[in-house]
Amino acid sequence: MQKNTENSREQKLPCGRLVTVPLDKQKQDNAKKFEIWKEQLKNYLEQNRLKYSEQRWKIAKLILGTKGHFNAQEIVQEVMKTHPGIGPATVYRNLKLLCDARILKETLVDAHGVAIYEAYDELHHDHIVCLDCNEIFEFHNSKIETLQAGVANEMMFTEVRHKHVIYAKCRYKKKKV
Ligand SMILES: [Zn+2]
Ligand SMILES: [Zn+2]
C-alpha cells in the first residue's frame, strides 16, 4: 500500500480509487523551472514586440504555480482568492499568452468538454479521462507510441506530435465489490 511521502500524498476519488498526487517538488527544482519560463516569456514577448512587465510575470507566476492539469475557471478562482484586483479577463489573456509562448499547452478537453491545460515541458504522456468523476489519469505506452508513428509513416507522414485521450467509464467500484 502506498503512503503519503514527502513528495506526494494520496487522495481518494469518489469511486474509492486512490490516486497519488504529487506535491510541490523540491523548491530548487521549481526555482529553476520558473527561471526558464521567465526567460521563455521574455523572449516570446520580445519577438512579438510586446512589453515585458513585472506585473505580467507576477500573473504568469500565479498561473504557472498551479500543478498538474487545470482548467481556466480553476485558475481564475485561485488567482482571485489571493489577488482580488486581478480580474478574469486578465487571467484568460495571460493564459492564452502562456500557451502562445509554449510554456503551457491545452492538453485535452475533459468529460464536460472544458479545455484542460498543463505545462508544455512535461514528458510526453497520454491521458485517460474518467467520465464518472472527471479525474484525469496519465499513461505512457511505448507500443501505442510506436504504432501511431508507424501509421503516420505508412501514410507518408513524419509524426511531430499527437494527443491521445481515452474517455472511459470507471470500473473500479465494481471490481472492489
Ligand atoms: Zn502518446
Ligand atoms: Zn498530463
Is the separation of the CB atoms in 116 and 71 below 8 Å?
yes
Give residue 136 CA to ligand 2 midpoint distance, Å.
8
Looking at domain 8-176, which of 3.40.50.300, 3.40.50.20, 1.10.10.10, 1.10.3720.10 is its CATH number?
1.10.10.10
> CA-CA distance, 75 to 62, in Å (whole number)?
8
* pLDDT tens for each residue of the chain, 177 residues long: 445 666 777 888 888 888 887 665 545 577 888 999 999 999 999 999 999 999 899 999 999 988 789 999 999 998 999 889 999 999 999 999 999 999 999 999 999 999 999 999 878 999 999 999 999 999 999 999 999 999 999 999 999 999 999 999 988 876 655
pTM above 0.95, yes or no: no
Nearest of 115, 86, 119 to residue 101 by alpha carbon: 119
- At 109, the amino acid letter reads V
> Which residues are within 5 Å of ligand 1 (an ion), measured at CB?
126, 164
Closest ligand to residue 104's CA: 2
Per-residue model confidence (pLDDT) at position 175:
60
Query: How far is Cα 73 from Cα 28, in angstroms, rounded to an integer?
Result: 29
CA distance linking residue 76 with residue 89, whole number of Å: 9
Alpha-carbon distance of 177 to 175, in angstroms, equals 6
pLDDT of residue 28: 57
Ligand nearest to the CA of 161: 1
* pLDDT confidence of residue 164: 94
**Nearest ligand, CA of residue 122?**
2
